[in-house]
Amino acid sequence: IIRPVFTARPKATVTIQPADPVFTGETVTLTCDIGSGDDWYYEWFKDSKSLGEAQQRKEYTISKVAASHGGVYTCKGRQSTEPRYSETSNAVTLTVSERPKPAVSIQPDDQVFRGEAVTLRCDIQGGGVSNWQYSWFKAGSSTAVSYKQQYSISSVTASDGGTYTCRGAVRGTSRYSHTSEAVTLTVSERPKPAVSIQPDDQVFSGETVTLTCDIQGGGVSNWQYSWFKDGSSTAVSYKQQYSISSVTASDGGTYTCRGTERGTSRYSHTSDAVTLTVSEKPKPELTSSHKGAALIGNPVVLYCKLDQSAGWRFYWSKHTQSPENETKTETHSYTISSVSVSDGGQYWCRAGRGTPVYYTHYSDALWINVTGTTRSDSLTVSPSRAQHFSADSLSLSCEGQSDSTGWRVRRYTHSEKVSDCSSGLGSVTGSTCSISSLSTSHTGVYWCESESGESSNPVSITVTNGSVILDSPVHPVTEGDPLTLRCLYRDPKPSNLTAEFYKDGSLLQTQTTGEMTIRTVSKSDEGLYHCKHPEKGESPQSWISVTGASFSVFSLLSSLMAVSPYLLVTIVLGVKCYRAQARPDEENKQ
């Protein structure tokens, strides 16, 4: 009896390269290994269904794997000899995942200050991979700057700023994740706050004070502010503006501020210290431009002196006024342009600033005495106009005085001194001063003065090197009279005489004849006048006064203010000094 020989049926084994899982788009190869003999025909199954196209191939390759290729794979072999079939292989699962893309985060922020610590973190979710090798790249370089999941810089500098990306590689393979989106790290200088104090760093008890902390730069808009006093580590306020509604001496001291970005630990530099000084409520000193009695018609200027004058307005009152009717000025002076008897009396001043207004104490009272003595008003000027060309001649005469004996022409100009004709101004004949060749240094105020100290009303003379002057009266115009103004020209005279006439800077008229006439002068016509020619240019300004409208030295000097503010100030000071020097001589003659 011949007994058959039975050979054990071999078992197929399936392997997958690359190792499971795989990313979409990769090439995947499944290998069916039976191990005995090479004359096998192979059959592949996915999810227990035959893959007909894969018959007779030991390797089943998918060139661009997609999610639809995922599943359970098996294989078995068939041959012509016994055993004719292998056993079916063990089942292997092919998992197809999307290639993951890293997410990058920066702590504490993507905008940091120089010297701060920064950490960039690369997180890769999905893909079924747990053994990533991380790589960090900075724009402009192909070499990785770090191979750790967290890239830390302990103290950033400006050179660390830039654009960063990260990528993951499966350890031991050449398989990669996508590259992350780029993130930009901005490194700025740590900003330093600037502190300001309103109304001033020297304030008075009871005032409202506001300290403001201003932080520019650094790329931060959500600061949390902290105020510190006298070096204390405990903040006195956490607002950008630290207000003290009614300061006391205890609020004085040095203050600093600092900013911290809300929600982070980032902070600015500390500001420079500012010192707040709190003094007792001040009391101004009230003085007058006149010593002794003031003449009727003269100007009187009151001065409210306050050492610390930043931001103050000044308030003036008289014994006939109630406090709510105080006169307010922006400057520390108050002018009575033409004193009358009713202006005599007792005056006070005080200052105020801020909102609500903080007031100083009232000054001591000052008495203004007014005397009825008046001045003569006749100084004859030839040519009789207020403006003159340089190199022209001019005659000024006191001969028209009721008693011309002992009268002389005096002036005050840029020289800052009171002088008369005999001191080099011109030639003297009796009470007449003749100037043969004018220069701009002759611009000033002129008047007649007697040996006894009596003086006429002053007049303003302006001398210009320009090509145009305004022919305007040197003395006040009587209300109701006509007034004609002309534009005069230095040779050669223009063929076109059309001129524009201005009052207080505003155009009044344009006249082809070069002159304009006001038929009936009124008080409202007082002001600063000048004319302008389209080719020759414009004249200086001159003040035209109307009698009955408080003509005074003050209104005269207003014309000089337009020509030379410096001259106006020096005239006031010079006349005060001159009168002070003259007073002892007058007393000696009595």
User: Residue 502 has what pLDDT?
Assistant: 96
Mean pLDDT for the chain overall: 83
User: Residue 7 has what pLDDT?
Assistant: 67
As a whole number of angstroms, the distance between CA 111 and CA 220 comes to 8
What average pLDDT does range 443-468 have in this prediction? Answer: 82
CATH topology of domain 103-188: Immunoglobulin-like (2.60.40)
What average pLDDT does range 300-317 have in this prediction? Answer: 85
Ranges of CATH 2.60.40.10 domains, the chain: 13-97, 103-188, 194-279, 285-371, 378-465+552-590, 473-549
pLDDT tier for residue 587 given thresholds of 50, 70 and 90: very low
pLDDT tier for residue 453 given thresholds of 50, 70 and 90: low
Any idea what DSSP says for residue 558?
A: H
Q: Is the pLDDT of residue 379 over 70?
A: yes
The tokens describing 108, both together, are: 């504490």
The domain covering 285-371 belongs, at the CATH homologous superfamily level, to Immunoglobulins (2.60.40.10)
Task: For residue 192, give every residue at least 6 positions away whose Cβ sits within 8 Å of its Cβ, in sequence order, or none.
Answer: 215, 268, 269, 270, 271, 272
pLDDT tier for residue 298 given thresholds of 50, 70 and 90: confident
What average pLDDT does range 311-340 have in this prediction? Answer: 85
Q: Which residue has 């009266």 as its token pair?
A: 473
Q: Is the pTM of this model over 0.75?
A: no
As a whole number of angstroms, the distance between CA 44 and CA 76 comes to 7
pLDDT 10s digits, 45-98: 999 998 886 557 889 999 999 999 999 999 998 887 776 788 999 999 998 988
User: Residues 388, 540: contact at Cβ < 8 Å?
Assistant: no
Q: Is the pLDDT of residue 229 over 60?
A: yes
As a whole number of angstroms, the distance between CA 486 and CA 509 comes to 12
User: Residue 548 has what pLDDT?
Assistant: 58
Q: Which residue type is seen at 67?
A: A
User: Residue 371 has what pLDDT?
Assistant: 64
Q: How far apart are the first and last CA of the chain?
A: 181
The tokens describing 164, both together, are: 């960063």
User: Residue 565 has what pLDDT?
Assistant: 43
What average pLDDT does range 300-323 have in this prediction? Answer: 82
Higher pLDDT, 575 or 386: 386
What average pLDDT does range 487-503 have in this prediction? Answer: 94
Q: How many Cβ atoms are within 10 Å of 300's Cβ, its own excluded?
A: 21
What average pLDDT does range 282-295 have in this prediction? Answer: 81
Task: For residue 177, give every residue at least 6 positions away whose Cβ sits within 8 Å of its Cβ, in sequence order, or none.
Answer: 99, 100, 101, 102, 124, 127, 132, 167, 168, 169
User: Residue 8 has what pLDDT?
Assistant: 76
Q: Which of 65-74, 352-361, 506-515, 530-539 has the lowest mean pLDDT?
A: 352-361
* 3-state SS string for 160-215: HCEEEEEEEEECCCCCEEEECCCEEEEEECCCCCEEEEECCCEEECCCCEEEEEEC
Q: Which residue has 């002053």 as its token pair?
A: 458
Class in CATH terms, 473-549: mainly beta
Q: Which residue has 């795989």 as its token pair?
A: 22
The domain covering 378-465+552-590 belongs, at the CATH homologous superfamily level, to Immunoglobulins (2.60.40.10)
Task: For residue 142, give every residue at least 6 positions away whose Cβ sits within 8 Å of its Cβ, in sequence order, or none.
Answer: none
Q: Is the pLDDT of residue 205 over 60?
A: yes
What average pLDDT does range 384-405 have in this prediction? Answer: 81
Tell me whether residue 205 is exposed, middle or buried, using C-beta atoms within 10 angstroms of its C-beta: 0 to 12, 13 to 18, 19 or more. middle
Instruction: Report the side by side order of strands in the sheet with 427-429.
Output: 380-382, 394-397, 432-435, 427-429
**Cα Rg, the chain, nearest whole Å:** 50
Class in CATH terms, 194-279: mainly beta
What average pLDDT does range 331-349 have in this prediction? Answer: 85
User: Residue 557 has what pLDDT?
Assistant: 44
As a whole number of angstroms, the distance between CA 508 and CA 518 comes to 11
Q: Which residue has 């414009």 as its token pair?
A: 538
Q: Is the pLDDT of residue 240 over 90?
A: yes
Higher pLDDT, 423 or 256: 256
Q: Is the pLDDT of residue 215 over 60?
A: yes
pLDDT 10s digits, 101-147: 999 999 988 888 999 999 999 999 877 788 899 999 999 888 999 99
pLDDT tier for residue 501 given thresholds of 50, 70 and 90: very high
Q: Is the pLDDT of residue 374 over 60?
A: no
Q: Which of 181-185, 474-478, 507-511 has the lowest mean pLDDT?
A: 474-478
CATH topology of domain 13-97: Immunoglobulin-like (2.60.40)
Which residues share a beta bridge with 32? 14
As a whole number of angstroms, the distance between CA 542 and CA 28 comes to 102
User: Residue 527 has what pLDDT?
Assistant: 87
> In this prediction, what percent of the chain has a pLDDT beyond 70?
84
pLDDT tier for residue 549 given thresholds of 50, 70 and 90: very low
pLDDT tier for residue 2 given thresholds of 50, 70 and 90: low
> In this prediction, what percent of the chain has a pLDDT beyond 90?
46
As a whole number of angstroms, the distance between CA 288 and CA 298 comes to 13
